[in-house]
Structure 1
């Protein structure tokens, strides 16, 4: 008898040791360290030496210009010696699963110094997006917790417990998990991602909740059509972001420039002399006081920029009439080694009621008619330059969301562009400009050699800057 009891006790202890999860919660890094380079750019800006910070806001509708525009306006007033150059490429209504199809193209186009990211949806797709950001750029990254749509709940100690009834915040019997998905993402998953990938975690959720309590407000008082905020909620979202940034900038520690090898500065080339640089990374730029197009003679790994695949990028497809901020396709695959400027026109016809079935024709400005296809099948152009996947189309989803369909013979376009050269100049507070001249981008994240020469009449070059993403995939 006692042998059987002891056996049961032993088995219970073994099961407990196998399944009981007793682990410390992941601790996100200090934001001063995680976005140290961006903070040092803001801290070091003076009237005599203004600085530039290039920012990308990315995600879905919660990353709306409704709050990002006033947030940037406030930062410009607070830090007049910093030129905040920013893009908002958020795609409202796109969950993480959809957004991951577009993120590589979008982030490669902008190649920012700082990324501010928020999205709802599958946590696994969320991590894949983070990995893309970390492998395609050397940017500092801020991820944002969710604002409050449902009441906050305690963080669940997930895993196996010798307890039938779940404690507050948990669901299940014996095996517990977080009850609220919103709480799981904000209090468990995002802190884990921040710790794993060295991201700054903006505590928007906790500060939003504090605002509700301090002003004796109900959750619904800041919402229009949940989860979207009303006017007061959008204003709060902007204010929470800018005041958090200001608090970090005001911290006395880490005032020195970030010395991470993700972004390295090299001495400017001497005009008239060939200069050789060696760096690890996937992008290099010259930072100058004026335009450099036509004044830089260079090779990267023995090749001129026009022979580098990464110097050729594909634009987003033009937008849908019924959801103008959405491109007609999430993704277009253009042959990586296609190094020609080109414009493709897509004409769509024979829509069915759901607009999930249709036919189309593709034409290239350079090669002419590229063939016809069906939205249900993989399309490969006659030249082999373009491939369209059946899951890339946005027509049926756009009709479902907007309630409006497209008429036959709608046309859409996308471009192939050469991007290694001058970016648009940035006006600085002292009346000068900063000119970023891209030498090479989209390179393998590895060792590279640059050899370049600039003539004596070249505008002043301040440095050569090389970018090394922390993740190699």
Structure 2
């Protein structure tokens, strides 16, 4: 440390303090960074595909849900600064952000989790980056477009020193093609990153804490790049203006014979509460209570909270399926006996539901189907690896808890008042098939039902009409090499 060269008794106290603070800043890797993206990347024209999001951010009533999704790069600290930056830039906006990235899960694994994660959170904006197979990457984007109404911002890879054939294929061709095909915002991290390194004469490693993950400097640069794209662009146009529609009661839809009926196309329905009235009402979708519609149930992640590196820290199944219709209840897997070998860990477990009760005994080495057929776990869906040689929590008596949730309600009750400049909403149904439905609301008692509007969310793309990109990466790489030689 350079302070060892000084004799502190001859230095004024304030000088010593400055030196100590300077040393602390250097040793902790803290950087104050201000970059001119336009200078680094002349083609910079941000926000062209974020008209829906920036319109929401400019309002002050609706909640805006931001999802960070991907793997370990997206689990890093830059996402927190991006959220803070949005809240500073749009102080009137009601922003809720969530980071559901899964470290170590390339596109081949992430695609198995995306439907659950999307349908549970139902974001308005997705900020996305993942490594892995290109076809699985596209399948993830397709699910985002067919399950939600969100804007999507996809990132190219930051530059870690390698410019392999695969990196060139993904960053120069495939990711830009995905952005064009699915109308996503392309955040060109890689080009800006390389220009930043060149301008400041940095080596890639100076922004990394290992061979790929970002250090403090890298996190700060990443946050600056992402924030620079999340802006209002007057040239931006929302090509799917009907993806979210709000129907005002007594203007667009009317109470008729004591009922409120609305035909719609979409997969999510929410009611916006009015200030006046207290009466409850029954909810029907196509003549059924939401609880009677199997599509409206979803599992939560087992033993998940924001403090754990899921599923690495908890040794949980990362995917749970079902064969028989679910009900809203809590589930518990309890580990019974363990047989460990050098190659793998085998164990028996029992399953109990809060409503179903005891639902069977199984083991992680084979497909488990519970007695009720409400829970199905495949052996390959157990994630028993840990990070940095940590001891697995799996042992006799260890419990894994998760829930099957109803994404909706059979009974509308007036929600808590959130303020005069904030909407109070109730999700009536979330996860419907994206097709024509009929909503019926029937009062349960006399008095005014406090609903001022119904909002319908219709994902813009139909999965039946989508095809994967027909591209052979090896052929593209070979042709690219020939063009470079010529």
TM-score range, shorter chain: 0.7 to 0.9
* Structure 2 match to 1:109: 120
Confirm or deny: 8 A CA contact 1:297 1:452 kept in the other structure.
Answer: yes
Unaligned runs of 5+ in 2: 1-44, 465-486
Confirm or deny: 8 A CA contact 1:335 1:386 kept in the other structure.
Answer: yes
- Compared CA separation, residues 183 and 60, structure 1 to 2 (3 A): same
- CA distance in 1 between partners of 2:107 and 2:435 (Å): 29
Deviations 1:183-223 (A, max 9, x none): 22222111122222222211111112222223222211111
From 246, 256, 276, give the equivalent of 1:265. 246
- CA distance in 1 between partners of 2:271 and 2:414 (Å): 13
Relative to the length of structure 1, the TM-score reads: 0.78
- CA distance in 2 between partners of 1:347 and 1:424 (Å): 41
- Compared CA separation, residues 355 and 348, structure 1 to 2 (3 A): farther
From 51, 56, 81, give the equivalent of 2:92. 81
- CA distance in 1 between partners of 2:433 and 2:363 (Å): 35
Is 1:126 aligned to 2:126, yes or no? no
What is the Cα-based RMSD across aligned positions, in Å? 3.1
From 428, 448, 464, give the equivalent of 2:455. 464
* Structure 2 match to 1:330: 318
From 44, 55, 63, give the equivalent of 1:40. 55
* Structure 2 match to 1:252: 234
* Structure 2 match to 1:415: 403
- CA distance in 2 between partners of 1:351 and 1:290 (Å): 60
- Compared CA separation, residues 201 and 462, structure 1 to 2 (3 A): same
Deviations 1:266-291 (A, max 9, x none): 22355785222111121111233579
- CA distance in 1 between partners of 2:159 and 2:112 (Å): 28
Is 1:350 aligned to 2:348, yes or no? no
* Structure 2 match to 1:438: 427
Confirm or deny: 8 A CA contact 1:281 1:469 kept in the other structure.
Answer: no
Aligned length: 407
- Compared CA separation, residues 407 and 340, structure 1 to 2 (3 A): closer
After TM superposition, the structure 1 stretch with the greater mean CA deviation from structure 2, 143-152 or 259-268, is 259-268
Moved over 4 A (4+): 30-33, 269-273, 289-294, 421-428, 453-460
Q: CA deviation at 1:254?
A: 4.1
Deviations 1:416-467 (A, max 9, x none): 1223148998997x76432231121211111111122467544462442332
Confirm or deny: 8 A CA contact 1:89 1:106 kept in the other structure.
Answer: yes
Confirm or deny: 8 A CA contact 2:337 2:349 kept in the other structure.
Answer: yes
Confirm or deny: 8 A CA contact 2:255 2:261 kept in the other structure.
Answer: no
* Structure 2 match to 1:72: 83
Unaligned runs of 5+ in 1: 1-29, 153-178
- CA distance in 2 between partners of 1:253 and 1:457 (Å): 44
- CA distance in 2 between partners of 1:292 and 1:240 (Å): 47
Confirm or deny: 8 A CA contact 1:290 1:434 kept in the other structure.
Answer: no
* Structure 2 match to 1:141: 152
Confirm or deny: 8 A CA contact 1:347 1:362 kept in the other structure.
Answer: no
Q: CA deviation at 1:301?
A: 0.9
- CA distance in 1 between partners of 2:380 and 2:243 (Å): 35
- CA distance in 2 between partners of 1:393 and 1:437 (Å): 34
- CA distance in 1 between partners of 2:99 and 2:54 (Å): 20
* Structure 2 match to 1:11: none
From 382, 386, 393, give the equivalent of 1:406. 393
* Structure 2 match to 1:96: 107
- CA distance in 2 between partners of 1:424 and 1:330 (Å): 35
